[in-house]
Structure 1
Amino acid sequence: MLDISYYEKTDEIIAQYTCEEKSLIPIIQGIQEEYRYLPPELLTYVAEKLGISEAKAYSVASFYENFSFEAKGKYVIKVCDGTACHVRKSIPILEGLYKELGLGKKKHTTDDQLFTVETVSCLGACGLAPAVMVNDEVHPKMTPEKMSELIKKLREEEE
């Protein structure tokens, strides 16, 4: 169960738009931007506020890969495994992250909610392969060693 502050913030986001179906996507984008994921309770709440069915809201939110129903870490690390990155050894970077952060194919977010690791098919940075994106910043020509240093730096920023 979510704290009342989540609903209050959602009301603020909803107030920026008209209360109609066409506002669903920008509203849920705003919620995800605020919380780094889309809490299912808030999706239900938004559906009620907009007068649409919960099923309709879920079908829209689940259609787009950008929306996540699971909480993500402060730092979302996207490891590209597209062709250019794969042939330039992106998998050892991913495996190094899994080992260092105690994650794997079934567990994507660290217990402290600091890091989430995902694989993506393409970051659109093929000339910089292998590329990794941390939140909105692309890190080119990554290696397992450089990735480990970046994790260390991000952890130090949190202290």
Structure 2
Amino acid sequence: MLVLKSTSERTRFFMEQILEKILVEYRKSEGNIISLLQDIEDSFGYLSEDAINWFSKKLDIPASRFFGVATFYSQFHFKPRGRNVITACCGTACHVKGSERLINGLRKELNLSEDEDTTKNMEFTLEKVNCVGACSIAPVIIINKQVRGKTTSDKLLKEIKSLKGLKDEGN
């Protein structure tokens, strides 16, 4: 049985069903750890320690091997992320064109302190990356995998407010 911290019996049951499906696919594909980790992240939004330990026991592979692969690639996350992911480029061109000012404006709009990256309601995650490779359109912000170049504070805050509004309309 999957041992999950502070989750209900019903939640554990559904999570284990998802993990079992991923395990079947893993065995069909002849054991690609990266694909397995991608499937876990696609299913849960992040790689939980519980899920990694579950696969470690099921496959008799040390958890350290999973963590080693996952920490090598920046695509994997170990904490739950918000429904909307905002990625701010902090490369040289973006920095010179004001990315830090954009990030500070986002932090203020989302009510995030310096040590927080996800809003308490799990609606937004703000992450900083070294470079997205789109220097000609700096400063660059990526919102839900959509690249926004030559971003201004006004454009950015308008889009964030729009995303907040979409959430409110959905309730």
TM-score by length of 2: 0.86
The C-alpha deviation readout for 1:6-28, integer Å capped at 9, x for no partner, is 12112112211227984221111
Q: Residue 78 of structure 1: CA displacement? A: 0.4
2:75 aligns with 66
1:49 has 2:38 as partner? no
Gap runs ≥5 in structure 2: none
Gap runs ≥5 in structure 1: none
Q: 3, 10, 20: which is aligned to 1:11?
A: 20
1:77 aligns with 86
Distance 2:28 2:72 in 1: 21
Distance 1:137 1:118 in 2: 14
1:152 aligns with 161
2:150 aligns with 141
1:132 aligns with 141
2:39 aligns with 30
The C-alpha deviation readout for 1:46-80, integer Å capped at 9, x for no partner, is 12222201222222222222211111001110000
Distance 1:27 1:82 in 2: 31
1:39 has 2:52 as partner? no
Distance 2:93 2:16 in 1: 43
Distance 2:51 2:91 in 1: 34
- The number of equivalent residue pairs is 159
State the SS of the aligned residue for 1:66. coil
Q: 97, 106, 115: which is aligned to 1:88?
A: 97
TM-score by length of 1: 0.92
Q: Please say if residues 21 and 50 of structure 1, whose CA atoms lie closer than 8 Å, have aligned partners that are also in contact.
A: no
Distance 1:7 1:134 in 2: 31
Q: Residue 109 of structure 1: CA displacement? A: 0.3
Q: Please say if residues 36 and 72 of structure 1, whose CA atoms lie closer than 8 Å, have aligned partners that are also in contact.
A: yes
Aligned-pair identity (%)? 34
CA RMSD of aligned residues (A): 1.7
Q: Please say if residues 20 and 51 of structure 1, whose CA atoms lie closer than 8 Å, have aligned partners that are also in contact.
A: no
Distance 1:29 1:15 in 2: 14
